[in-house]
């Protein structure tokens, strides 16, 4: 019996978005490595930050991530860093996302292994966050990062913010790192035929988890000024449990109250095929469908 190939995604964020040479050196470990595929890397000068998207089998991906973190620690000095995006480290955050034949528990284990290895190799304090968090107050990345690089030395000396791995002091030039496991995020925005932002905001409050809506949905109202319309802009944080079609149909229902219609939607960036196939199966009413029937699913085994 052939063992099924496991695939995991990693989307590390590095605090360098201006120096092309440094960015290339950081992504280098993801290139031409057996079992690892560099899908994308995008940088933003204003944020002074680079986001890398890479997929691979757990063991080689782990090696490549550890190597890239080493490069970033060597080449980025947070004491000289400025940018609009909040950050606490040269390597700011390292999320791992299960893609195929990979349980969340295994993804958490992988994130802990990487946290242990980079803290030991590079003398870095590491926080576990999201599904890997060691306490509820450490789940949310914004809470972990609050205070940023400049305030972090004082923060980690408090018992409740003691790092999960590594020394109880900031790395002088590279700060601290958050490492964790999470589900794939889908950025899904639904457009409405009104220019009234209050309506989009009001609907966002009804569909999002925070204020009484769907469990794995974050949402805000956004104005699309050039089109003269508004949208409910969502982050679907676990499409396997809160499906895209469900948030769409709920928005449609809530919009009726205002005599407003859904006129379209957007998906920003990458999306796992299952998130869309799930909605197709709902709308087409397909009975007893299995993802094993999808040709590409079989090809990736």
Within positions 225 to 264, which residues make up the interface with a copy of itself, using CB under 8 A? Answer: 244-245, 248, 262-264
**Binding flags for a copy of itself, 18-37, as an x/- string (CB under 8 A):** -------------------x
Q: Is 9 in the site for a copy of itself (CB under 8 A)?
A: yes
- Of residues 47, 81, 85, 209, which has the active-site annotation? 85
Structure-token pair, residue 221: 């109202």
Nearer CB in complex with a copy of itself: 135/273: 273
Q: Is 99 in the site for a copy of itself (CB under 8 A)?
A: yes
Smallest distance, Å, CB 165 to a copy of itself?
Answer: 29
Distance, CA of 154 to CA of 166 (rounded, Å):
16
Pairing relationship of beta strands 36-44 and 49-56 according to DSSP bridges: antiparallel
Closest by CA position to 260, among listed 169, 209, 194? 194
**Residue in the structure block whose two tokens are 């791995």:** 165
Smallest distance, Å, CB 77 to a copy of itself?
Answer: 33
- Which residue in 120, 168, 253, 273 binds a copy of itself (CB under 8 A)? 273
Q: Is 66 in the site for a copy of itself (CB under 8 A)?
A: no
Name, in order, each residue with C-beta under 8 angstroms of 41's C-beta and a sequence gap of 6 or more. Answer: 23, 27, 50, 51, 52, 53
Nearer CB in complex with a copy of itself: 125/213: 213
Q: Is 51 in the site for a copy of itself (CB under 8 A)?
A: no
Nearer CB in complex with a copy of itself: 195/279: 279
Q: Is 283 in the site for a copy of itself (CB under 8 A)?
A: yes
Q: Distances from the Cα of 247 to the Cαs of 258, 259, 289, in angstroms?
A: 17, 18, 21
Under rule CB under 8 A, how many of the chain's residues touch a copy of itself? 43
Nearer CB in complex with a copy of itself: 210/273: 273
- Which residue in 10, 55, 72, 152 binds a copy of itself (CB under 8 A)? 55
Is the distance from CB of 267 to CB of 233 less than 8 angstroms? no
Nearer CB in complex with a copy of itself: 86/272: 272
Distance, CA of 266 to CA of 269 (rounded, Å):
10
- Which residue in 34, 158, 259, 299 binds a copy of itself (CB under 8 A)? 299
- Chain centroid, CA 243 distance in Å: 18
Nearer CB in complex with a copy of itself: 41/289: 289
Distance, CA of 54 to CA of 8 (rounded, Å):
9
**Binding flags for a copy of itself, 191-230, as an x/- string (CB under 8 A):** x---------------------------------------
Is the distance from CB of 15 to CB of 90 less than 8 angstroms? yes
DSSP 89: B
**Greatest Cα-to-Cα distance within the chain, rounded to the nearest angstrom:** 59
- Which residue in 77, 116, 193, 289 binds a copy of itself (CB under 8 A)? 289
Q: Is 47 a catalytic residue?
A: no
Report the SS3 class of residue 29.
helix
Closest by CA position to 265, among listed 234, 228, 223? 234
Report the SS3 class of residue 148.
helix
Which sequence positions are flagged as catalytic?
85
Residues that bind a copy of itself (CB under 8 A): 7, 9, 37, 39, 55, 99, 184, 191, 244-245, 248, 262-267, 269-273, 276-281, 283-289, 293-300
């Amino acid at each position: 019996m052939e063992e099924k190939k496991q695939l995991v995604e990693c989307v590390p964020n590095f605090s360098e978005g201006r120096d092309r040479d440094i960015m290339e050196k950081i992504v280098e470990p993801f290139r031409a490595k057996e079992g690892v595929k560099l899908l994308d890397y995008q940088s933003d000068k204003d944020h002074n930050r680079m986001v890398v998207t890479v997929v691979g089998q757990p063991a080689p991906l782990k090696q490549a991530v550890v190597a890239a973190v080493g490069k970033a620690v060597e080449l980025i000095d947070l004491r000289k860093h400025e940018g609009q995006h909040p950050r606490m480290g040269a390597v700011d955050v390292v999320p791992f996302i299960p893609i195929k034949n990979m349980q969340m528990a295994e993804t958490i284990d992988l994130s802990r292994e990487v946290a242990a290895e980079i803290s030991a190799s590079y003398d870095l304090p590491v926080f576990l966050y999201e599904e890997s968090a060691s306490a509820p107050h450490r789940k949310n990345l914004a809470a972990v990062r609050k205070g940023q690089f400049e305030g972090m030395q004082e923060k980690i000396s408090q018992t409740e913010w003691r790092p999960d791995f590594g020394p109880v002091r900031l790395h002088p030039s590279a700060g601290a790192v958050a490492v964790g496991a999470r589900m794939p995020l889908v950025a899904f925005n639904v457009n409405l035929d009104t220019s009234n932002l209050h309506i989009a905001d009001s609907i966002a409050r009804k569909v999002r988890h925070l204020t009484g809506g769907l469990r794995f949905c974050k949402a805000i109202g956004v104005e699309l000024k050039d089109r003269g319309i508004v949208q409910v802009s969502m982050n679907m944080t676990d499409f396997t449990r809160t499906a895209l079609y469900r948030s769409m149909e709920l928005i449609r229902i809530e919009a009726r109250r205002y005599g407003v219609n859904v006129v379209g939607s957007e998906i920003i960036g990458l999306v796992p095929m299952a998130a869309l196939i799930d909605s197709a199966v709902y709308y087409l009413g397909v009975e007893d469908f299995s993802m094993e029937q999808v040709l590409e699913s079989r090809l990736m085994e």
